[in-house]
Structure 1
């Protein structure tokens, strides 16, 4: 049986075992990750500067999703 992604998401969100695990709690089932290619930018201080300058809050707001920008 072939289902559409929205149908499957609704089905999972309605299932009690998944709700308990928090699957249906997030606004979107995706994690957006932006990373710097360490081969193209090998110097740590440059990668740190890029991460510091990246407008994570603005990108998150523009996506229309709720969440917290994280850096590691």
Structure 2
């Protein structure tokens, strides 16, 4: 599931998924699809620290290394 809840281009991620994971003591599975390289990467679990801005930056940085079918 995409954290932003849409398949449209977004400029920043919404923070609800991190808040929910923190409140429920859950980890977030970071997984990316690189269409150009034909790679699906089920990479790692991320445990929210409670610092929402830093957590969002970390997740955003993780996804910045992947490219979709239609570059936006």
- TM-score if structure 2 supplies the norm length? 0.30
More strand by share: 2
* Greater relative contact order structure (CA < 8 Å, 6+ sep): 2
